[in-house]
Amino acid sequence: MRLTGTLDAAWAASQWGQQAILFAQDAADLTEVSRLDSAGLALLVKWGQACLARGKRLQIQGADENFLKLANLYGLAELFDLTPPH
């Protein structure tokens, strides 16, 4: 699923009601994401946990260097298959 713009509290709230649809996906493309805050990250973590519950890992493509660093720093990298931007 291609995500765009800002992944913040407003985005997370708008997606929460549709989480069953979102969490059924196994991939997220963050190439066009301009900003990600803690609420956006929290939703990606929940999404990753939902994938793990199905025996898969959420594939995140196009995550910027800051996301990659945070995922490793907070021990979240095991939730995701991370592919940095090209």
| Contact present, 57 and 51 (Cβ < 8 Å) | yes
Q: Give me the mean pLDDT over the 58-86 stretch.
A: 85
Distance CA 79, CA 85 (A): 18
Distance CA 16, CA 43 (A): 8
For residue 69, what pLDDT is reported?
Answer: 84
Q: Give me the mean pLDDT over the 62-74 stretch.
A: 85
Distance CA 18, CA 34 (A): 22
More confident residue, 77 or 84: 77
Q: Does pTM surpass 0.85?
A: yes
pLDDT digits over 31-67, tens only? 999 998 889 989 999 999 999 999 999 999 998 888 8
Helix (H, G, I), strand (E, B), or coil: what is residue 35?
strand
What CATH class has 2-83? alpha beta
Distance CA 31, CA 29 (A): 6
